[in-house]
Structures are given as structure tokens and as C-alpha cells.
Structure 1
């Protein structure tokens, strides 16, 4: 099961993801999370508690980051587990989103 928590710091938000990023969290990300984050200047997505991402989850992540960037929000993803980062690298997600998106 997927969940998230938003911590607000004036113009920046930190979002902590927990659980599997898959098709089951489509509504949560598209209907709740994207609208909740569009008013910030920057967003940090904490990925440390995400153990599994499938192809649907990759699409959701790409949509989330691109939607926020289209609104002028800087997005950073950090603490990606090694096994998840291997899948990101295999699918060239860092190249698509920009390597600067992935920090620490």
C-alpha cells in the first residue's frame, strides 16, 4: 500500500513516499499529490521507504515530476534504494528527468 506525507517549509515541500509505487496509487498521485504541490517553488521527494516500482509507477513518477516542472516547481528525488535506482538507471529515468533531479 502506498502513502505519502507532506512537510511544508515556506516555499518548499518535502514529500515522503512509503510503500509500492504502482498502478494502485494513480488516483492518489494525480488527484491529490500533484495539485497539493503545485504552489511550491521546490519539492523534495524522499524515496527511501519505496521498495518496489513497476512500469505504472515509473509513469506516475514521470508525470508527477513533469507536471510540477511545467508549473515552475523544482523537483529533487533523494534516498532512492539501490534496487529501485537500478531499475531507474535501466530505464534511463535519470536521463529523462535530468541527473540533477536525483540528489543524495
Structure 2
């Protein structure tokens, strides 16, 4: 189960992901991003409460980030837990998109 919470802060949209992002929930995530992307200059994905991500979730996140960056949007992924970051790191996302995009939780 995935809960997607959106809010606006300083001209950016913040999307909090809570729960699990996998094959069953990735489309929900993509639709939530599409609903709020118009007129936004930046998007922040807060993963502090994302407990699990599978390869489909990683692919969905990667596609969304690439699409937003293609539209010259500033994108950040913040508060990535160690468990989720490990999956991202194994798949090379920080290297592919830049470590400045993925900020791990302390």
C-alpha cells in the first residue's frame, strides 16, 4: 500500500511517499505526480516514510525524474532511508542522476 501526500512549499511541490512503492502502486505514484506538475518549478520527493521499493518502483521513480528534468524542473529526492538508498545504490541511480538528487536520511 502506498499513500501519496502532496503540498506546496516555496514554489515547489513536495510529495511524501508513505508505505511501499511496487508493481501494485507505481501507477498511483505516477498519476499523483502528473496531477500536480503543471506550473511547478521544482519537485521534492520525501521518502522518509517509504519502507519498501522494488524494481518497478525504482523504474517508475526514474522515469518520473527524467521527465521532470527534461522539462527543466529542479528535482530532489530527500530523506531516503538506508534500506531504500541501498536499492537505489545497487541499481546505480545516484551515479546515473547525480548524488545531488538523492539525499540520504541521517
Aligned counterparts, 1:80-91, within 5 A: 80-91=80-91
The residue aligned with 1:34 is 34
Distance change in 2, residues 1:68/1:35 (3 Å): farther
Unpaired runs of 5+ residues, structure 2, are: none
Q: Which runs of 4+ in 1 moved over 6 A?
A: none
> How far apart in 2 are the matches of 1:10 and 1:86?
30
Report how far residue 35 of structure 1 moved.
Answer: 4.0
Q: Of Structure 1 and Structure 2, which has the larger fraction of its residues in helix?
A: 1
Q: Of Structure 1 and Structure 2, which has the larger fraction of its residues in strand?
A: 2
- Superposed CA RMSD in Å reads 1.5
Unpaired runs of 5+ residues, structure 1, are: none
Q: Normalization by structure 2: what TM-score?
A: 0.88
